[in-house]
Amino acid sequence: EPEVTQTPSHQVTQMGQEVILRCVPISNHLYFYWYRQILGQKVEFLVSFYNNEISEKSEIFDDQFSVERPDGSNFTLKIRSTKLEDSAMYFCASSGGTRTDTQYFGPGTRLTVL
């Protein structure tokens, strides 16, 4: 069965550094998402992406965050200058032809900002 994959599984970085989290969505999916979960808190929506542009972003998704689908297979989340409070598990998800199709989640990247 096709799966969403994410790399790396764990990323440790210094505050102020840039990080890029990578995701490979399921190949025929059209909708892509990033969520995050700070330890002990809810899974929170960050951004949705469709037709090569952001369709919605949350208040968390400020100017420090960006997403890209550079080559038709990868979907990346970049944080330009990481803060301590960016430490969280970041999940990528993708869904098929409509916004209501089931979202399939990747295993997550644990980001630790020191």
Partner 1 sequence: AQSVSQHNHHVILSEAASLELGCNYSYGGTVNLFWYVQYPGQHLQLLLKYFSGDPLVKGIKGFEAEFIKSKFSFNLRKPSVQWSDTAEYFCAVLSGNTGKLIFGQGTTLQVKP
Residues at the site binding partner 1, with contacts judged by CB under 8 A: 4, 31, 33, 35, 41-45, 48, 50, 55-56, 58, 91, 93, 95, 99-100, 102-108
The helix (run of H) or strand (run of E) holding residue 55 is strand 53-57
Q: How far is the CB of 95 from partner 1 (least distance, A)?
A: 6
Closest CA to 92 of 104, 101, 83, 80: 104
Under a CB-based contact definition with an 8 Å cutoff, are residues 39 and 88 in contact? yes
Which letter, b or e, does each residue of 44-67 get, where b requires 16 or more Cβ atoms within 10 Å of its Cβ? bbbbbbeeeeeeebeebbeeebeb
Q: How far is the CB of 17 from partner 1 (least distance, A)?
A: 26
Q: How far is the CB of 81 from partner 1 (least distance, A)?
A: 25
Q: Which is nearer to partner 1, 3 or 18 (CB)?
A: 3
Q: Which is nearer to partner 1, 4 or 77 (CB)?
A: 4
Q: Which is nearer to partner 1, 33 or 75 (CB)?
A: 33
